[in-house]
Amino acid sequence: MRAPALHLFLLAAITLAAPDRASLRCAGGFLSPRPLTVSLDGQPFAVGLALGEVGDYRDLPPGRHDAGAAWSDGGPPVWRGPVAVGPGAHTLLLLGQGRSGRVVVLDDEHQLPEAGRARLRLVGGSTASGRLVARLAASRGVWITAPFTGGTAAAYLTVPADDYRLTLHRPTPSGQPGPRLLTVPLLPLAERTVSTAFVFGCPGPVAEWKRMRVALRLDAAEA
């Protein structure tokens, strides 16, 4: 059975936070068709966050914040707890399903690469426990990420700026690409940009492969 191809991009540029400030965006990895609203310190922060969506960065003071997530159309919270946000840029990744959620706060790097290069990071935006490995192929070579799981991020890759073909695989015991799960036929990475590719959905049995989706976000670019 051939793995399904999927091509889904969400693009946005950002403004870097000042050294003594923090910026935060929310990413929806909660496995439900109902959107959620994320609140910080009792105020709505991301409203109507659906599965597979990534919001824009918003500035906030560094430090500890009381956070929560609840259905946007009403109902009890699916998650509540403190989050610690240091200076710089971060992503709050909301995971879970049913009535149980959890969050992971990822540190985002926005240092631009040298001329002719691009930086890319893969993030596992699901609750799946199985590992994934990504393969990027272009005219000038092939690059493979380290294995990553739901709620974690692979290390940033610095690659030549180009149009890539991205495939997601189950890793072999040695960490190399094994069975292919998903293909994104076109992943454009422009010169002197930093991007994050979020892998949403559950890479479980064959019947669930079609639930996977990839959202590419442009995090930083040369002015």
- Which tens digits make up the pLDDT trace of 95-120? 988 778 899 999 999 999 999 999 99
Q: Looking at this protein, which amino acid is placed at residue 115?
A: A
Whether residue 95 is found in the same domain as residue 133: no
- Going by DSSP bridges, is the β-strand pair 58-60/133-138 parallel, antiparallel, or unpaired? unpaired
CA angle 84, 130, 127 (to 5 degrees): 40
- Written as six digits, the tokens of 85 are 């946000």
Give residue for tokens 């590419």. 216
CATH number at residue 80: 2.60.40
- What domain range includes position 54? 22-107
Q: Are 171 and 88 in contact (CB under 8 A)?
A: no
DSSP for 110-147?
-----TTEEEEEEEEES---S-BEEEEEETTEEEEPPP
The pLDDT, as a whole number, for residue 11 is 44
**Is 11 part of any domain?**
no
The pLDDT, as a whole number, for residue 210 is 54
Q: What is the per-residue pLDDT across 16-69, written as a single tens digit (0 to 9) for each? A: 445 578 999 999 998 888 899 999 999 999 999 998 999 999 999 999 999 999
Number of domains observed in the structure of the chain:
2
Whether residue 179 is found in the same domain as residue 96: no
Whether residue 96 is found in the same domain as residue 117: no
Whether residue 53 is found in the same domain as residue 35: yes
CA-to-CA separations, 121 to 129, 200, 206, in angstroms, rounded: 19, 14, 25
Instruction: Report the range out of 9-13, 129-133, 194-198, 200-204 with the highest average pLDDT.
Output: 194-198
**Is 8 part of any domain?**
no
Whether residue 100 is found in the same domain as residue 140: no
Whether residue 123 is found in the same domain as residue 31: no
